[in-house]
Structure 1
Amino acid sequence: MILCDFLIDQYERKTKWNNITEGNASFRIEEKYYKYLDKTSFLNQAKELESKKLLKIKWVSGYYNEDIEKLKYPLTSMKDFYRIANRKPKYEEIMEKKQEIIDLLQKVKTSWIREYLEKEVLKNLIDEKYLKKYKVNEAKDKKNTLLYQCLLGLDQLDSPIFKRVFSKRYLKNSKLFEKQLQSVVLRIARKYHDGVEEGMENSDVLFQLYIEEYSQELHIKGSLLIKADGITLDTGEYHYGTVLNSLTLKNAVILKNQKINKILTIENKANYMAEPYEAGTLVIFTHGYFTPLERDFLCCLKESLEDKPVTYLHSGDLDYGGVRIFQYIKSRIFPDLKPYKMDIETYNRYISCGEAIEERTLKKLKKCREPILQDVIDRIIETGLVIEQEAYL
């Protein structure tokens, strides 16, 4: 490190970092600085800068040419110090970063990404407290550049894509997203994406962003009339259930003349498998939270059934997660949804199979309000026990 770096660091730690070049500054020399630059070199560089009239040396009394007490310099010398140290002024770095985010915001349309950029990134580049502490960090800047590339890629997605395909396409490396950016993107999405619910697994969150770790598969049991590639299919012919993969969900057309009078969504797979086939009933495995593609498909199904009297039911765990999934389906897909085997009688019948709820989850449950399930919620809070659906089997 050269002496000019010390002078720049001192300058940028103060309020004068923002291109103020009027007045004078001083830098008191301490013994610890010789750890970074040997004393002889330190003294020689100070003398050289003094010979160029960029600063003045105040020597320790009685130790002329041996120990420096203080360096004094006009702030007009700062541009020379930056040039000698081959560094870009902090205010220029900040201006460039602000412009980068402004340019990025002009390209991005997705609301949760825009909200993050505006509320966290751009806000920091305006906040004086943040700017005083700001330091150039090449490794961090490089990661931020990758993050912005990633966010631009996410902004362009309108259909599911496998994680590694996304990473290769937008980051030029199939494993880069997972290794360096996934945790950051998950944090941002959990905070700003309105499709992300508290309690979602990481894979569920990624699904909301159209990032697939594996192919989306909607497990159904019962009659559903769809048409794909000119072929009409009635899934009711498969009494033990069938699976609609991502391509089917994306390309299939839901026909109007459905034979459905009841739709039952089930949270856990074992219970879904155990539910018997029943004419007129479509049973759907939720696997937790539905993905955007599944949600859009089921909303289209709901529209195709608007002229029919259909009962919508959901069966899930009698715990915080079960309540949240019920609310998610009710608010985003089937507004007339009612609970099935999620009542106080069912809870009391299987209470011997209950498991202790975690304290932090109990605190969340106490804040949860759902009129249709409130008696069960209150009972869980009272007993401190939750019941998983598998207990019914």
Structure 2
Amino acid sequence: MTELTQELAKIKEYKSKVLSLLLKKYETSKAFRTGEVSLQRPQFAIKKLNNSLSKDYFDEMNYRKREWIHQALAELQENEIIEVKWPKFKEGEEIDKVYLNFDAIGNAYDIAEIIPKQQKLEDIKSILSPLSEHPWQWVRNFWDYYNEALSKNQTSGLEIDNPKGYEDLVKTLLFLPTMDEGTMKRVLSHQLFNDTKYIEKHVQSRLVSIYKRFGDIELDTDIEYLDSIGIVENPQISLVSGPLIFNSINSSVDVAELPGGIGLSFETIKELEIKDINAKAILFIENLTAYHEFLNGKIVEDTLSSSKFTNTDHILTIYTGGYPHHALRKLLYKLKGFIQQSNNSVEVYHWGDIDYGGILIFEHLRRNYFSYLKPLFMDEYTYNKYLEYGMQFSPEYANKLTALLNDDSYDLWHKLIEALLRNKIRLEQEGLVINMNIK
């Protein structure tokens, strides 16, 4: 490279650095957000910078860098892209400030070879637009929020330099309502991207983040969030015990005849037809230890002296593991349908943690499956009796409980929530079960 070629390359490089800096300031300004020219132009003072441009400008070991920067500024000013302000009596020696001319912003992008932020925003908006008519409300809520933000020239956290990421997201979201229920993640990833790990690497975090923010459910893990929208990490089994009779293809199964119950796969649940529920009650249990201890008859409490609970063999018991996974959801809908069609008056209960998550899981089951659902061991009496075995919670956790306390749709739980907040202790089902057995 000749000396002249090197000089021209450096001047071009400094033009790009100067314009990049000014355009970044423009893109964060009120003028950019509103589209209206303001009195204050995008600018920088060379002495206040702390970047490679200022380091080169004040490099005492290589004075030519300053000369190249001056030449770059002179050419930009000659083309009316910028205006340079010099300190009094130091013109041509040390610049003071550099201003970007509003009328030349388009040219500035071209010279700097930068894609305008406005164009990036419009591109992302166009990519997301197919979600406006998505069949799922939380997806439409996502689109509504960001469509409005993008229309105001606001990113609101979107990664506008990664349009491919949003193309992948939209492709996935549009496909989800059409896929087979309970599709495994790697199968879906291969279907959409011809790569079994692509969703996990490039789509999952963004997809889960959106669902956490705009969905109506609060879960613990990414796997649970994906499962709730039909993407399965691995096939799940639903544990059931008690008087349930169902037909599946050419066979009839009476679960009551199977000691310890049965584990039902999604494929089995999808094909089975419920024939009878000869139970005194149906009980959903959140925790696996509690499920097994209950079936083994080790839970002895005053509440269970009720005639319907005198013999656990008369209870249709189902393990939920928290929020119901895709296979269990299918079973719950079938149970709900059978009870409605047969006018079965069986009572339905749920036993879970006495805490924020336990309350939300109960309400999820009540609002989506059984409107007459009742709580078991989720009351002030049980809470106070086993309070010493609970766990303290943080102020942030208390804020979430307080939000429920201020929500009339959770009025069933208000007295219990007041007790939780008063003691600042939550009671997990497993700890409760262990100490029930000890007593």
TM-score range, shorter chain: 0.7 to 0.9
The one-letter code matched in structure 1 to 2:328 is: E
Q: How many aligned positions are there?
A: 385
- Report the Cα offset of residue 358 of structure 1: 4.2
1:111 aligns with 2:137: yes
1:317 aligns with 2:361: no
Correspondence for 2:338: 304
Distance 1:300 1:105 in 2: 31
Cα 1:68–1:296 change in 2 (3 A) is same
The one of 305, 327, 330 aligned to 2:366: 330
Distance 2:121 2:419 in 1: 55
1:91-240 matched pairs, under 5 angstroms: 91-102=118-129, 104-106=130-132, 108-119=134-145, 121-127=146-152, 130=154, 138=161, 140-157=162-179, 159-194=181-216, 196-197=217-218, 200-240=220-260
The one-letter code matched in structure 2 to 1:308 is: N
Structure 2: runs of 5 or more not aligned: 1-12, 58-64, 296-310
Distance 1:322 1:289 in 2: 9
The one-letter code matched in structure 1 to 2:150 is: L
1:83 aligns with 2:105: no
Tell which deviates more after alignment, 238-247 or 50-59.
50-59
Correspondence for 2:9: none
Cα 1:240–1:84 change in 2 (3 A) is same
Asked if the contact 1:264/1:312 (under 8 Å) is kept, the reply is yes
Question: Could you tell me the percent identity over the aligned residues?
Answer: 23
Tell which deviates more after alignment, 337-346 or 185-194.
337-346
Distance 2:364 2:159 in 1: 43
Distance 1:49 1:93 in 2: 25
1:303 is paired with a residue whose SS is helix
Asked if the contact 1:50/1:56 (under 8 Å) is kept, the reply is yes
The one of 35, 40, 65 aligned to 2:67: 40
Distance 1:339 1:333 in 2: 14
Distance 1:16 1:359 in 2: 41
The one-letter code matched in structure 2 to 1:30 is: I
Cα 1:91–1:19 change in 2 (3 A) is farther
1:330 is paired with a residue whose SS is helix
CA RMSD of superposed structures (Å): 3.9
The one-letter code matched in structure 1 to 2:289 is: A
Distance 1:305 1:218 in 2: 19
**TM-score computed with the length of structure 2 as normaliser:** 0.72
The one-letter code matched in structure 2 to 1:297 is: L
- Report the Cα offset of residue 54 of structure 1: 6.3
The one-letter code matched in structure 1 to 2:336 is: K
1:269 aligns with 2:288: yes
Asked if the contact 1:226/1:252 (under 8 Å) is kept, the reply is no
- Report the Cα offset of residue 206 of structure 1: 2.3
Instruction: Summarize deviations over 1:38-87 as a string: whole Å, max 9, x none.
Output: 32322333454567676777776766765556778865544444333323
- Report the Cα offset of residue 269 of structure 1: 1.2
Tell which deviates more after alignment, 206-215 or 38-47.
38-47
1:87 is paired with a residue whose SS is coil
- Report the Cα offset of residue 241 of structure 1: 1.0
Structure 1: runs of 5 or more not aligned: none
The one-letter code matched in structure 1 to 2:116 is: P
Distance 1:108 1:143 in 2: 19
Distance 1:353 1:318 in 2: 12
- Report the Cα offset of residue 337 of structure 1: 1.5
1:365 aligns with 2:401: yes
Distance 2:105 2:213 in 1: 41
2:239 is paired with a residue whose SS is strand
**TM-score computed with the length of structure 1 as normaliser:** 0.79
Cα 1:101–1:202 change in 2 (3 A) is closer
Distance 1:392 1:280 in 2: 21
2:348 is paired with a residue whose SS is strand
Distance 1:78 1:330 in 2: 58
The one-letter code matched in structure 1 to 2:46 is: E
Asked if the contact 1:223/1:282 (under 8 Å) is kept, the reply is yes
Cα 1:213–1:237 change in 2 (3 A) is same
Cα 1:336–1:134 change in 2 (3 A) is closer
1:243 aligns with 2:263: yes
Tell which deviates more after alignment, 371-380 or 274-283.
371-380
The one of 46, 49, 55 aligned to 1:30: 46
Instruction: Summarize deviations over 1:250-306 as a string: whole Å, max 9, x none.
Output: x22323444344211112112211233745431101111113542242122122123
Asked if the contact 2:349/2:376 (under 8 Å) is kept, the reply is yes
